[in-house]
Amino acid sequence: MKKRKVLVPLDGSEFSRQIVRVVRDFFAPEDVTLVLFRAAAPPALPAELAPQDFYVGSMAMAGSYEAYSRALESGYEATEHERDAYLIKLQDELRSDVDRLRELGYTVAMEVHFGDPAQRIIDFVNGNDVDLVAMATHGRSGFGRLVMGSVAERVLRGVGVPVLLMRSAPETERQPTPGELLAKSLGNGQGLKVAVATDGSTHGCHAVDLAADLTDEIEMKLTLLVTASAQDGAAHAQKLMNEVCKPIERLAVRPEVVPLVGYPDEELLQYVAEHDVDLLVTGAFHDKGAGSSMAIGPTVQRVVQHAPTSVLIVKGQKRAFRRILACAAVDDLTAVDVAAQFARALGAELHLLHVVPPSAASYLTSESTHAIALEDAVNQGTRLSTAAKEWIDRLQEQQYGRDAIIIRPGNVPEAILDAAQRGDYDLVVVGSQSGPGHFLGSVANAVARFAEQSVLVVRTRTQA
């Protein structure tokens, strides 16, 4: 299938760069080719570079045609030099965004043009096989929108392809993400707020067992959520309550038990939305069926997709996490923080895996098809280098060495699942920056669905 070409105009401001995150949410790397586009007015010739010996004011001095011609040529050369220097500067400003997207697996091209921004965008779209324009715009409405004469307005009227516009939202104080709150709770030792959910299924009971065992190693406030259908009746609900409470009877501090009657996914999502929960622990519900042991079923799928908090999906019967694999993205330190602190609290062995997509691995040699030396990654001078240095610092803070970091090329979800299986890990930690509407196509979703081990999905983006 042919990739769609998406033009992403930027103007050098942080505001315009917001559209890059939106494009990432809407389009997977294998579906699009991105063109980061910058148009700017050409540089004016500085007065000190003007050929003063041939001009008085703005008029050429009287003299031979040769003198006049040399004056013009001198001005052209100076202007061309300034344009070339300015072009390089604009390209360098775009390069960090290009490198970051390539490291995430996107095919990215870069275009820099001089001239009126709106007209240059229109000309490029109409002269190339562009399928979509995606750009940020300061949102206005009514009469103000009709007269504002913005670049976005002109592009919208001048191109014959769809235009995705992201309107600015009122500035508000940044709120910590659920993942950041989880890392903070793990780090301050003041008690993790954990809710464990079950409907009495085998996998749900394993989740309760594991949550109870975790309280022996991590200080936490545990709440047991028991879901039941209204159609099953009160007698069934009471029997269910008695059975699922057995694993927590041994705990010195008895957890609060909360019955939830109704559709399990709706009840659980409403509960975590209304209560302060750092982590939701759950195993597959009865609707999983008798399929593969790695399957999570539709209820847990919806919960992990929509939950406004991090979710630990318990698979199998292991009741201890002794080998943990953390999946690290170049722009996500939160999942690394959570994994490192969680592993240290449990006294577990930790490895951190970063997968470099093929489109971003152009610097690899033919000999490095299975792994990339950490020092080579650190010395690349790219966003991966910066991220690798930060990973080293975060791991050392939790008493883990740099030898815990594994960098390898490959398709991201496939490489993670392969490493998890080959390494005999008990838990895979993966960050999720996707909102509910885009989670199904994310790496986190693939890992949650297909990993044979338990999976901790760290929510690294505040839910809208």
**Contact criterion met (CB below 8 Å) for 351 and 406:** yes
Does one domain contain both 287 and 418?
Answer: no
> Do residue 227 and residue 298 come from a single domain?
yes
* pLDDT tens digits for range 120-140: 999 999 999 999 999 988 654
User: Residue 292: pLDDT band by 50, 70, 90 thresholds?
Assistant: confident
Question: 291, 282 in Cβ contact below 8 A?
Answer: no
User: Percentage of residues in the chain with pLDDT exceeding 70?
Assistant: 81
Average confidence (pLDDT) over 186-200: 86
Domain limit, last residue, from 140, 167, 194: 167
- pLDDT over 90, % of the chain: 40
Mark whether 54 and 163 lie in a shared domain: yes
Q: Are 140 and 53 in contact (CB under 8 A)?
A: no
CB 351 within 8 A of CB 423: yes
Q: Would you state the pLDDT for residue 122? A: 93
**What pLDDT does residue 331 have?**
80
Distance, in Å, from the CA atom of 310 to the CA atom of 180, rounded to the nearest integer, reads: 10
Write the DSSP assignment of 111-162 as a string of letters: EEEES-HHHHHHHHHHHTT--EEEEEE----HHHHHH---HHHHHHHH-SS-
Indicate if 324 and 463 belong to the same structural domain.
yes
Q: Which has more confidence, 28 or 82? A: 28
Identify the sign of the CA torsion 147, 152, 157, 162. Answer: negative
Chain centroid, CA 118 distance in Å? 30
Q: Please, what is the average pLDDT of the chain?
A: 82
Structure tokens at 235: 């007698």
Q: Are 23 and 37 in contact (CB under 8 A)?
A: no
pLDDT at res. 68: 45
Looking at the fold, whether 361 and 290 belong to one and the same domain comes out as: no
| Pair 312, 325 in one domain | no
User: Mean per-residue pLDDT for 142-146?
Assistant: 39
Segment 219-229 shows an average pLDDT of: 90
pLDDT digits (tens, 9 = 90+) for 387-431: 888 999 999 999 999 999 999 888 889 999 999 999 999 999 999
Other Cβ atoms within 10 Å of 430 Cβ, number: 29
**159 and 185 belong to one structural domain:** no
Q: Look at residue 30 and tell me whether its pLDDT is greater than 50.
A: yes
What the block records as the tokens of 421 is: 């299986």
Q: What is the pLDDT of residue 56?
A: 43
Both structure tokens of 430: 């993966």
pLDDT confidence of residue 157: 87
Q: Are 236 and 247 part of one and the same domain?
A: yes
Which pLDDT band holds residue 330 (cuts at 50, 70, 90)?
Answer: confident
Boundary (domain end) residue, out of 319, 354, 370? 319
| 357 and 457 inside one domain | yes
> What is the average pLDDT across 221-230?
89
Residue type at position 127: G
Which residue's structure tokens are 């003041």?
190
Q: 300 with 331, same domain?
A: no
pLDDT at 63 over 50: no
Cα–Cα distance measured from residue 241 to residue 330, given in angstroms and rounded to the nearest whole number? 44
CA trace torsion 452, 453, 459, 460 (10° rounding): -90
How does pLDDT run across 202-211, given as a tens digit for each residue? 899 899 999 9
Range of the domain at 189: 175-319
pLDDT at residue number 9: 92
Write out the DSSP string of 294-335: T--HHHHHHHHHH-SSEEEEE-SS-----EEEEE-BTTB-HH
Residue range 434-444: mean pLDDT, rounded: 80
pLDDT band at 49 (very low <50, low <70, confident <90, very high): very low
Identity of the residue numbered 417: L
pLDDT tens digits, 239-256 = 888 888 888 888 888 889
Q: What is the average pLDDT across 315-343?
A: 90
Q: How many angstroms separate the CA atoms of 405 and 373, rounded?
A: 9
Average pLDDT on 100-110 reads: 87
Task: Give the bridge partners for 59, in sequence order.
Answer: 56
Q: How many structural domains does the chain have?
A: 3
SS3 341: helix
Query: Minimum mean pLDDT among 171-175, 326-330, 415-419, 450-454: which range?
Result: 171-175
Residue 106 structure tokens: 């996107």
Whether pTM > 0.75 for this model: the answer is no
Beta strand extents in 192-314 (DSSP E only) = 192-198, 220-228, 256-261, 279-283, 310-314
Which of 68-82, 352-366, 367-381 is modeled with the greatest confidence? 352-366
| CATH number for 113 | 3.40.50.620
Q: Looking at the structure, do residues 103 and 13 belong to the same domain, yes or no? A: yes
Which among 121, 141, 167 is the end of a domain?
167
Q: Are residues 48 and 153 in the same domain?
A: yes
Q: Do residues 337 and 395 lie in contact, with contact meaning Cβ atoms separated by under 8 Å?
A: no
